[in-house]
Chain A
């Protein structure tokens, strides 16, 4: 269970490892894009982690990265074809970002750091946790940027008419501002929790 939950908050791929920042900055202009991107990453991460965990003992050490990339690229292409066939508007809105999941460092990072060293079940849980953590942060960033920048949420009007719209929030600068604040917030909450936990431990020892 630890494998599942660590990715969501404590070791969140975006907030803790600062991986996968390119899509996090680029597609979070509205919540719909963020959800599609997040789900595609969960799909690719899950299946590539499973396959890599299965082949981890057969893959020759010298070409492991090349093999991982082949596996990842296969699933990315499947996701890309699926979105093009069933959600065509979405695939046009996301443009090249779906094919670019191939080089998303979260996926290769988890393959090398986790799936190549652990069994299938823990790799599955790790993928789901990391994917969910990634998706949640993406959605949160997108919600902040969409509401402040275009005054909508999931394409629907979300703020009263007199509320000003800050164009900067949907421009790249807004992405950096939002990301910075969220990373800071995560650090602060994390430190608070660690402090409390160590306090509890000291009490117990005494």
Chain B
């Protein structure tokens, strides 16, 4: 009885403190994340005129006449993986991917944020599929060794988001 009360009290106090701290900093964190998203779009489309647009309840960016960018997220192995994806003006080829949030295991799942994995998407034809051997087909993405779940998550995220955003932007 005493044990349960003690643990309950401790967790309750901890929850109170954390919600207070979060309340104080949430605004700043949101602003930082917004800045990081725009910086990511500018990295994918350097020197282009970037405009934020929205259609059908979805937000995206138009980069001059060269392409579009949009956000994507999916549940990874440990937590959500979030990214900004840039595509060409036909919404067919990937121009660049920048991972914004990834809490996967450093050294294994964490490797999906590295260019070594992400550069595979450039110039290939969606929908992408995951392979564990060096890629042969035109849509093959080689998974990171020891991180098949994280790799699959990223590929699934891009495939699904691309289909969705094609419908939104073309309209």
Which residues of A are at the interface with B, using a C-beta cutoff of 8 A? 26, 55, 58-60, 62-63, 66-67, 70-71, 73-74, 77-78, 81-82, 84-86, 88, 92, 95-97, 99, 172
Contact = CB atoms under 8 A, between A and B. Distances in A.
B14 A73 contact: yes
Interface in B8-24: 10-11, 14, 17-18, 21-22
B10 A70 contact: yes
B32 A85 contact: yes
Given A88-B32, A95-B106, A172-B107, A62 B18 contact: no
A175 B11 CA distance: 37
Nearest to A63: B3
A63 B7 CA distance: 8
Interface of B: 2-3, 6-7, 10-11, 14, 17-18, 21-22, 25, 28-29, 32-33, 35-36, 78, 102-107, 110
Contacts, number: 65
Given A84-B32, A95-B103, A58 B110 contact: no
Contact of B25 (A59, A85, A92): A85
B103 A81 contact: no
A107 to B, nearest CB: 15
B25 A96 contact: no
Nearest to B109: A96
Contacts of B105: 96
Contacts of A60: 2-3, 6
A99 B33 CA distance: 18
Contacts of A85: 25, 28-29, 32
